[in-house]
Amino acid sequence: MNERISPPQPLVAASHANAADYEAMYRRSLSDPDGFWREQAGRIGWIREPTRIADWSFDPVDIKWFEDGVLNLCWNCVDRHLESRADQTAFLFEGDEPGEGRSISYGALYREVVRMANCLKAMGVAKGDRVTIYMPMIPEAAVAMLACARIGAVHSVVFGGFSPDAIHGRIEDAASRFVVTADGGKRGGKLVPLKANVDAALARGAEIDGVLVVRHLGCDIQWVEGRDHWYHELGETVPDECPCEPMNAEDPLFILYTSGSTGKPKGVLHTTGGYAVWTATTFHYVFDYKPGEIFWCTADVGWVTGHSYVVYGPLANGATSLIFEGVPNYPDFSRFWDVVERQRVNIFYTAPTAIRALMREGEGPVTKHDRSSLRLLGSVGEPINPEAWRWYWDVVGEQRCPVVDTWWQTETGGIMITTLPGAHDMKPGSAGRPFFGVDPQLVGPDGEVLSGAASGNLCLVGSWPGQMRSVYGDHQRFVQTYFSTYAGKYFTGDGCRRDEDGYYWITGRVDDVLNISGHRLGTAEIESALVGHAAVAEAAVVGYPHDIKGQGIYCYVTLMEGIEPTPELEKDLRAHVRTEISPIASPDLIHFTPALPKTRSGKIMRRILRKIAENDYSSLGDTSTLADPSLVDVLIDERKKK
Ligand code: PRX
């Protein structure tokens, strides 16, 4: 399908960039990056303006932007707005129960952030210290992030759906001595025992100086005297002023753990100046944000989308950002549109998995709510299939609201490929064109650079301000993961097609990273959880197409000698993965098999396992190098019974 849809005319006229602007700005961003980004850096208030703009190399890998600039991102997101918009809403909070929530002005946000920052200081947090944030989607989660940025601490947000083991691993890797959490959270009416999960994580052994606990639900929790502090109690005792720490542009801002194709999740490290400029600039152009508008990104702050487009991008632009604690189907499938109607949301940004799940419920839950406030729709996290795109455009946006399909990654800090609302026609299923400063290249099987319309592995040549700078504590892993496949290029891990109009169509990961409902998981992580179970001898995990989640988790499992597969064991393995990693990593299909297909040198042939999981037996490729080629028929027979 190569259908083109033009954005509605009134929007084009009022947009921040039209087609001619885009062409000129894009060309200049590549030909004169220093000039271009010096200007865009003007969106940020600097304590000392940078004189050096781009200074990077991909071989050896060393990336710096705005290197001699000094700034504080919390000041840019909060204090800077006090003069002109102290009474304007910064965060609109919608709780898990409809209508439960509050609105927080920039003035009130300032007071909260100062209080939280002083609480952190009172616990001993100093510039450069890592603070782990494990919170529900409530304003205090954003406040904690901003408080860290204010005092120069490095936040490491761990998604509230992760298990104690996962929290523990991240605390250890970051050598974080401080945790901010809440007594509990609620999602879809269900209690999430956040404090209890932190207690369980810390019981696995960690050197912790303090845990700051936000009282959100008032539920019963355990308390460790001397270690745990109530935010509302400590907050009473602290001063009501807290200066913003002057930060060098290249000082770390945050670590965010994300899954790769091998090993444990890695700590993606972002620094202050480049990330600030990137999120502020992309937010301005991609969402075409106008003062006074209400912006709602449904992502949790536990993911990069929440960092960049619930907190930093919107607040750096003085926007009103909606924080939603709940889920799309609670109390019913009209929840998103109920919130849109009540809060008069103008710009709405969500993931294809949510769109597909809502689409299945038909138009009724959407059309019963007034969506006339909506002006722009966005999609992020995974490829959006053209059917879901159409439904979003036709039913949700009534063909009035341009849809921006934004491709990016935790590593890129912000949006990289998208159409711009006033500049480009849209093509359902295509992310669109590169954002300013983004220079994509498609690379063929032999490492050759492909030109024109082509399909290949998506690389980026040249740095952009929002690029991650390192893997926390392991720069070599950073170099190895992203820059060793193709010398001198950043390899994204995605496959992609470029059409004759220069539009990019992301086809999905080409490595062993799964994208489950827009959540990123490594097959290696799930395998390691499975083999951690006493009954399991070996496991191989692959993705397979799933109607709602985009990809499902397919696990091939061989059992220890003498152990028989049973439905109970299957249930037990599922529960085991959920507690080891998270419910989002729960296997969709477990396929018990006597053996895994291996080459004679003992390497599992994942290509074959992927094809069988996809029910595609026609193109298994060469199976003659297998140690036991007859195993393929056994696996196919077993697959057909699933
Ligand atoms: O495969 C791409 C997919 O999500 C991956 C990045 O995942 P993560 O770091 O968790 O960040 C998700 C939110 C930015 C990418 O390598 N992806 C993300 N957005 C899109 C996408 N695939 C297709 N289209 C998108 N719009």
Domain assignment present for 418: yes
Closest atom of ligand 1 to 411 CA is: 9
* pLDDT confidence bin for 322, thresholds 50/70/90: very high
Tell whether residue 520 is among the known ligand binding residues: yes
- Angle ∠(114,117,118) on CA atoms, nearest 5: 85
**Residue at 384 is within a domain:** yes
382, 468, 551: residue to mutate for ligand 1 pocket, most atoms within 8 A of CB: 382
Last residue of a domain, one of 466, 497, 528: 497
**Distance separating alpha carbons of residues 523 and 513, to the nearest angstrom:** 6
Phi-psi region of 318 (alpha: psi -120 to 50; beta: other; left: phi over 0): left
Pocket test for ligand 1, best of 255, 268, 270, 408 (most atoms within 8 A of CB): 408
CA–centroid distance, 515 to ligand 1, in Å, is: 8
Which residue among 303, 350, 409, 481 has the greatest number of ligand 1 atoms within 8 angstroms of its CB, and so is best to mutate? 409
In a domain, 584, yes or no: yes
Query: Does 450 share its domain with 549?
Result: no
Say if residue 463 is in the same domain as residue 572. Answer: no
Q: Confirm whether residue 226 is marked as ligand binding.
A: no
Decide whether any atom of ligand 1 lies within 6 Å of the 520 Cβ: yes
Q: Are residues 40 and 117 in the same domain?
A: yes
pLDDT tens, position by position, 481-502: 999 999 999 999 999 999 999 9
* Residue 469 Cα to ligand 1 middle (Å): 19
For 181-196, letters b (16+ CB in 10 Å) and e give bbbbbbbeeeebbbbb
Give me the CATH number covering residue 155: 3.40.50.12780
Residue 149's alpha-carbon distances to 90, 120, 132, 469, in angstroms, are 17, 11, 13, 17
Neighbours of 591 (CB within 10 A): 21
Residue 200 is assigned to a structural domain of this protein: yes
188 is in an annotated binding site: yes
Q: Which domain holds residue 580?
A: 517-638
Q: How far apart are CA 540 and CA 554, in angstroms?
A: 8
Length of the chain: 642
The Å distance, Cα 496 to ligand 1 centre, comes to 12
Confirm or reject: Cβ of 210 under 6 Å from ligand 1: no
Close Cβ partners of 591 (under 8 Å, ≥ 6 residues apart):
554, 555, 556, 557, 613, 635, 638, 639, 642
Contacts of 536 (CB under 8 A, 6+ apart): 530, 557, 558, 559, 560, 573
Q: Examine the domain organization and report whether 419 and 466 are in the same domain.
A: yes
Measured by CA distance, the residue closest to atom 22 of ligand 1 is: 382
Q: Is 329 annotated as a binding residue?
A: yes
CB-side exposure of 430: number of CA atoms within 13 Å? Answer: 23
Tell me what percent of the residues of the chain surpass a pLDDT of 90.
93
Q: In this structure, are 437 and 557 located in the same domain?
A: no
In-domain check, residue 504? no
Q: Which residue has the CA at smallest separation from atom 25 of ligand 1? A: 407
On whether residue 110 sits in a domain, the answer given is yes
DSSP string for 219-277: ------TTTEEEHHHHHHHS-S--PPPPEETTSEEEEEEE--SSSS-EEEEEEHHHHHH
pLDDT in tens, 3-58: 899 988 888 889 999 999 999 999 999 999 999 999 999 999 999 999 999 999 99
Q: What is the pLDDT of residues 127-164, one digit of tens each?
A: 999 999 999 999 999 999 999 999 999 999 999 999 99
Report the nearest-CA residue for atom 12 of ligand 1: 381
Other CB atoms within a 10 A radius of the CB of residue 59 amount to: 10
Is there a binding annotation on residue 2? no
Q: Which residues pair with residue 459 across a beta bridge? A: 441, 491
The Cα–Cα gap between 132 and 135 comes to 10
Q: Is the CB of 407 under 6 A from ligand 1?
A: yes
Domain contains 511:
no
Q: Which of 506, 507, 584 to mutate to test the pocket of ligand 1 (most atoms within 8 A of CB)?
A: 506
Q: Which atom of ligand 1 is nearest to the CA of 299?
A: 13
- Is 381 within any annotated ligand binding site? yes
Per the annotation, does 406 bind a ligand? Answer: yes
Q: Does the CB atom of residue 307 touch ligand 1 within 6 A?
A: no
Q: Helices 631-640 & 606-613, crossing angle to 10 degrees?
A: 30
Are 331 and 383 in the same domain? yes
> Do residues 260 and 157 share a domain?
yes
Q: Whose CA is nearest to atom 24 of ligand 1?
A: 383
CB 474 within 8 A of CB 266: yes
Contacts of 633 (CB under 8 A, 6+ apart): none
| Cβ atoms < 10 Å from Cβ of 12 | 16
What pLDDT is attached to residue 618? Answer: 86
Question: Within this chain, do residues 321 and 434 fall inside the same structural domain, yes or no?
Answer: yes
Predicted confidence band of residue 619 (pLDDT cuts 50, 70, 90): confident
Q: 548 and 480 share a domain? A: no
Q: How many other C-beta atoms lie within 10 A of the C-beta of residue 618?
A: 5
Which residue's alpha carbon is at the smallest distance from atom 5 of ligand 1? Answer: 409
The total of structural domains in the chain comes to 2
| 300 ligand 1 Cβ < 6 A | no
Going by alpha carbons, the residue nearest to atom 6 of ligand 1 is 409
Q: Domain containing 529 — which CATH number?
A: 3.30.300.30
> Residue 74's pLDDT is what?
99
pLDDT in tens, 77-118: 999 999 999 999 999 999 999 989 999 999 999 999 999 999
Ligand 1 lined by 305 (C-beta under 6 Å)? yes
pLDDT of residue 294: 98
Measure 415 CA to ligand 1 centroid, in angstroms. Answer: 10
Q: What is the CA radius of gyration of the chain?
A: 24
What DSSP assignment string belongs to 443-486?
E-TTSPEE-SSEEEEEEE-S--TT---EETT-HHHHHHHHHSSS
> Confidence band (pLDDT; 50, 70, 90) for 196?
very high
Tell me, in angstroms, the distance from the centre of ligand 1 to residue 513's CA: 11
Last residue of a domain, one of 468, 497, 526: 497
Contacts of 362 (CB under 8 A, 6+ apart): none
49 alpha carbon to ligand 1 midpoint, in Å?
33
- Based on the fold, state whether residues 566 and 605 are members of the same structural domain: yes
Q: Are residues 436 and 394 in the same domain?
A: yes
Chain-centroid distance of CA 437 in Å reads 21
pTM for the model: 0.95
Contact (CB, 8 A) for 321 and 310: yes
Task: Give yes or no for a contact between 137 and 96, defined as CB atoms under 8 angstroms apart.
Answer: no
Cα(383) to centroid(ligand 1), Å: 8
Other C-beta atoms lying within 10 Å of the C-beta of residue 292: 12
**Cβ–Cβ < 8 Å for 301, 182:** no
* Contact of 252 with 87, CB cutoff 8 Å: no
**Ligand 1 centroid to 263 CA: how many Å?**
20
Q: Which long-range contacts (CB under 8 A, 24 or more apart) does 104-112 make?
A: 104/139, 106/78, 106/81, 106/82, 106/318, 107/82, 109/78, 109/139, 109/143, 109/146, 110/78, 110/79, 110/82, 110/86, 111/240, 112/139, 112/140, 112/143
The answer to whether residue 452 is domain-embedded is yes
**Final residue belonging to a domain, choices 449, 467, 497:** 497
Q: What is the pLDDT of residue 55?
A: 98
- The per-residue pLDDT for 625 is 83
338 plus 483 within the same structural domain: yes
Q: What digits encode the pLDDT tens for the residues 350-389?
A: 999 999 999 999 999 999 999 999 999 999 999 999 999 9
